[in-house]
Amino acid sequence: MPGDRFGVSIEGRDLELSNLDKLMYPAAGFTKGEVIDYYTRIAPIMIPHLADRAVTRIRYPNGVDGVHFFEKNKPGGTPDWVRLETLPVPGSTKSRETIDFVVVDELATLVWLANLAALELHTPQWRIGADPDLLVVDLDPGAPAGLRECSAVAMLMRDRLEADGVSAYPKTSGKKGMQLCCPISGTQNAELVSAYAKSVAEELAAMVPGSITAKMAKAVRPGKVFIDWSQNNAAKTTVTPYSLRAQAEPTASTPLTWDEVEAVATGAAEPRHYRAAEVLERVDKHGDLMEGLLEAGPALPA
């Protein structure tokens, strides 16, 4: 029966799964059991990108068509084996408020969150107790611009970052845009990283003002790609590579090759997002296209 609950043991951790037949993506017929299966299978590739980072969850207890909520603090009934880190709320003006953040550093925790219908997992650019080791460039298209225009801007951004010795790894957001993720040294604070991202975004916007904006005002975004440099603020999170997204179809934030990005940018290929099953196939073919993020990168120019 859909309401059945049953216990499982994962790598010595005991947890309870429930309602595996519940539709999480009704239009696609994709169930909670399939969500758990996806996260179980992608775990060896995904967990290194989650490890040591405070995870924000977006939960959809009744599927993507139902009510959803953001969750940062540990939920009620959290098993005692789940890693928790008590941290000040990033960006808190008083720096006294704290949250017991969940950290996903093992398969059992990832499955536990999937069973709670935490479809989307978002992480900051910093690891626990450290300065940011990632710089993220979020490319957000304003209609009628779309993924093709994002891909063209991504190529420009890649070349600009390369001039400073920074390598960029592209991925779809799983929704309408894409992100470039860049390994950096982890020796500079979030304010410096964000200031660098803003300066580069403004530089590109000045070069191609008809297609790119670095301004947050929604009024200037239609038909342009907004380079959202503010994702590097310590209080911000970005969807984790390989996370599912809450769309009609079970798409995921999917790492890409630069050849794929160029093909979309030039019109040689159609822009698209990828479903969970396709992401697993891509991992079988390519491995982790974001593996470079797991090694320290360069310090940014001051």
pTM: 0.95
Is 91's pLDDT higher than 70? no
Q: Give the Cα separation of 9 and 210 in Å (integer).
A: 55
pLDDT at 49: 98
The number of beta carbons lying within 10 Å of the beta carbon of residue 166 is 23
Average pLDDT of span 30-50? 98
Is 30's pLDDT higher than 60? yes
pLDDT at 3: 52
Is 45's pLDDT higher than 60? yes
Residue range 115-172, pLDDT digits in tens: 999 999 999 999 999 999 999 999 999 999 999 999 999 999 999 999 999 999 999 9
Both tokens of 295, joined, read 């090694």
pLDDT at 221: 83
H or E, element range at 154: helix 147-163
Asked whether the CA dihedral 208, 211, 212, 218 is positive or negative, the reply is positive
207 vs 61, 139, 147, 154, 200, CA distance in Å? 45, 16, 20, 14, 11
Q: How confident is the model at residue 94 (pLDDT cuts 50, 70, 90)?
A: very low
3-state secondary structure of 215: coil
10 Å CB burial of residue 175 (0-12, 13-18, 19+) is middle
10 Å CB burial of residue 300 (0-12, 13-18, 19+) is buried
Q: How confident is the model at residue 93 (pLDDT cuts 50, 70, 90)?
A: very low
Please tell me what DSSP assigns to residue 197: H
pLDDT at 217: 78
